[in-house]
Structure 1
């Protein structure tokens, strides 16, 4: 009856807040291009800076010469991390889900960590055995040149931080965090998301030949499965970091 009395209007009905909702296939895909583009711009800015710093022309030849330098590669990898984090933060805001929850930044059990490490060691060892049996290099040849260049510049420690910390963090947040989360809640489902995100992640390593790309794909599938089973991107970041650190030490050792 209060509606008939102007002095006592009915209480305003507040609309219920929109429930949290992850981006689906196309939203995840479009934002994925934006995230990758931001990473590329961050890395390219470092390369262009060093080309201009050395007084060389901003040409393909000048860029290729600078890209082969260990210090430049390390700094470009480091520069990509804040760019990726910034765009990921922007992309997760409209979903109503926290940054950590959306990207799977949650802990896991020691049992899962041990299972992940053992699985990764077995997988990489099998690839090394196949590589040796085929008379191939165990590590990509260009990695040895990059390590020697970084060591000559006194920047070996920067390269280790870039390859064993920065790269695993932003690559996993992108592939197993962002891409897997959205695609797994689309028509692809978890297994389709594991496969497609692994293919995209492999495509980000085109500096390798077909053999090492196959190895990268298999590692991506393992990481994707572990992300699915444990719900933890921290686990895949840890495994990725350990893999990159071991590969860096192995390459440094073989390169003398």
Structure 2
């Protein structure tokens, strides 16, 4: 009978494929920072290009004017998507788990889709009622200016694609895909992962005031719970896109 020498056994172990593994708390957090930086660099590159293309003054006022431009915002949001996907691919490739499996990119039932839409409509409708009762704007004021700016550049269609397609894709892949997956399999567990990933997602929306940040947090908690119950990130991507599309249409309507 043939037998392996110690050297042969060591070589065989070295050639054996590494078993798939999920990043836990710190691995998810550190790679999450890398993914966020990649997205940020992609958006900054677009902003720098637009500043140079417009010949804006290198002053706070000049840069602010370009950054608030509807076309610039649209392009920067779109630029974030490929950067996030690339960084996610690099990170997930190290785990040995298929890209779609790691991020929960799997379908779900129509029943879950309907439940998700109804829950989102009820939640957002409740926030709108509170906003009106408090005498506040239903939509963030700056969004109307962004839409008007995009119209002036004939780029309203691009803004809709950026807000209703690109942003939901990379934000959900990051928050409910990457962060939730790793943190839910750490000591935090699913509910801790839902809460922490929702907080991180809310911090990514600091352009809003405290009221809208609270609304964003509540939506994040809903999306996180649906991700947990259905195992599907596609569901949260769909709901996120519908929410952003409805908010864009509502802002456009109110802005006249």
Separation in structure 2 between the aligned mates of residue 253 and residue 142 of structure 1, nearest angstrom: 14
Q: How does 1:1-256 map to 2 (within 5 A)?
A: 1-2=1-2, 12-13=8-9, 14-15=12-13, 16-256=16-256
Contact 2:104 2:233 in 1 (8 A): yes
Query: What is the Cα deviation at residue 67 of structure 1?
Result: 1.2
TM-score for both structures, normalised by structure 2: 0.95
3-state SS of 2:22 partner: coil
Q: What CA deviation, in whole Å up to 9, does each residue of 1:124-166 have, x standing for no partner?
A: 0000000000000000000000001101110000000000000
Q: CA deviation at 1:53?
A: 1.2
Gaps of 5+ in 2: none
Greater mean deviation of Cα atoms: 38-47 or 51-60: 51-60
- Work out the CA distance in 2 between the residues paired with 1:37 and 1:2: 54
- Cα deviation for residue 253 of structure 1 reads 0.3
Larger radius of gyration: 1
Over 3 Å counting, the alpha-carbon distance change for 1:164 and 1:2 in structure 2 is closer
List gaps (5 residues or longer) in structure 1.
none
The normalised TM-score by structure 1 is 0.95
State whether residues 190 and 228 of structure 1, in contact with CA within 8 Å, keep that contact through their aligned partners in structure 2.
yes
The 1-side partners of 2:5 and 2:218 are apart by 65
**What is the distance in 1 between the residues matched to 2:7 and 2:94?**
29
- 1:2–1:217 distance in 2 versus 1, CA, 3 Å: closer
Does the 8 Å CA contact 2:106/2:231 hold for their aligned counterparts?
yes
Q: Is 2:25–2:186's contact at 8 Å kept on the other side of the alignment? A: yes
In 2, the alpha carbon distance for the partners of 1:214 and 1:115 equals 22
